[in-house]
Amino acid sequence: MTFTRSTLLIACSLASAFAITACSNANNEDKKQTTLTASAPATGEASTLIERNAQQRLSTTLQQHFKTAGINAKITDIKATEVPNLFWVSLEGMSSVYATSDGKYIIQGDVIRLGDKELHNVSENLQAGVNKKIFAELKQEDLLVFPAKGKTKHVIYVFTDVSCPYCHRLHEQMDEMNGKGIEVRYIAWPRGEQHMPAMEAIWCSEDRHAAFNQVMNGAQIAPANCKNPVRAQYQLGLNMGVNGTPAIYNAEGVYLGGYLSTAELIKRLDK
């Protein structure tokens, strides 16, 4: 893998069910940016002065390497992972990456632990914590919320795009999900620049719910311009490692998957 001054290429990751239950990002140009795009990290806290000093040295080394490579990346936090000599590096406004303890290598993508019946992503807990904080800072008026009917048992956040067939399938079961006590909070995530106008038109509509339902049913709505959060939400998704829609998270920030039936969704929410 090579790194250029303008970008770091996204590393290939393990194939997963997500690949067949979500629509991928169709805008390849969005990957040609000056951000590090990767799924985030692992767990661990510096418990001794020696560890903290080691992390400070790593931070200094990485910042020097970033500067040499012309990469505009500011390190905000470094944590040890369960993998020996591998650290999680949090970057301001960008996705987190892994780094070796000597600062010579960074890794973009997931680190998977083997040995159990199920594969374990060592980044899951820490990234979930980051996601939870991000969701808590979102303004309700910037989202498209479909509340639960009766008592709210679960809240999910869904990155969605009207051009994605799997998003259509998920939205078709909205009444069923709401009826089961699930509140759905949509976050705009157009999969390419060509889909940005449609999502902005929905978010600029006087009745956002009606506009979204209309487009999901195959109808057209008139273009509209206004101050809206669509681009900001798209960037937020990139920072979290979203690479396709739908991308479903629970209120604790845990990634649940791409398209899920209501029964499967409830199973994962109750897990």
Between CA 235 and CA 242 the distance in angstroms is 9
How far lies 110's CA from each of 37, 48, 139, 185, in Å?
A: 12, 27, 29, 26
- Coil, helix or strand for 4? coil
- DSSP category for residue 193: G
User: Which residue matches tokens 């900001």?
Assistant: 232
Q: Which residues does 133 contact at the CB level (< 8 Å), separation at least 6?
A: 253
Q: Which of 164, 169, 231, 268 is catalytic?
A: 164
CATH number of this structure's domain 34-131: 3.10.450.70
**Number of H-type helices and E-type strands within the chain:** 8, 13
CATH number of this structure's domain 134-270: 3.40.30.10
- Is 191 a known active-site residue? yes
Between CA 148 and CA 266 the distance in angstroms is 13
Closest CA to 23 of 152, 192, 223: 192
| pLDDT of 240 | 86
- Coil, helix or strand for 68? helix
| pLDDT of 20 | 58
Residue ranges of the chain assigned to CATH 3.40.30.10? 134-270
Amino acid at 59: S
Residue ranges of the chain assigned to CATH 3.10.450.70? 34-131
This model's pTM is above 0.85: no
- Is 12 a known active-site residue? no
Between CA 186 and CA 101 the distance in angstroms is 39
Between CA 202 and CA 221 the distance in angstroms is 8
| pLDDT of 19 | 47
- Is 161 a known active-site residue? yes
| pLDDT of 27 | 58
| pLDDT of 93 | 73
- Whether residue 195 contacts residue 161, with contact meaning beta carbons closer than 8 Å, is answered with yes
Report residue 74: phi and psi, to 5°: -105, 125
Residues (pLDDT < 70) of the chain are: 1-20, 26-47
Q: Which of 23, 110, 167, 204 is catalytic?
A: 167
**pLDDT tens digits, 29-66:** 444 343 343 333 344 454 578 888 888 999 999 999 99
| pLDDT of 23 | 84
Q: Which of 110, 185, 191, 204 is catalytic?
A: 191
Closest CA to 218 of 159, 143, 168, 174: 168
| pLDDT of 24 | 73
Give the tokens for residue 15.
């194939």
- Whether residue 169 contacts residue 163, with contact meaning beta carbons closer than 8 Å, is answered with no
Q: Which of 161, 175, 268, 270 is catalytic?
A: 161
- Coil, helix or strand for 50? helix
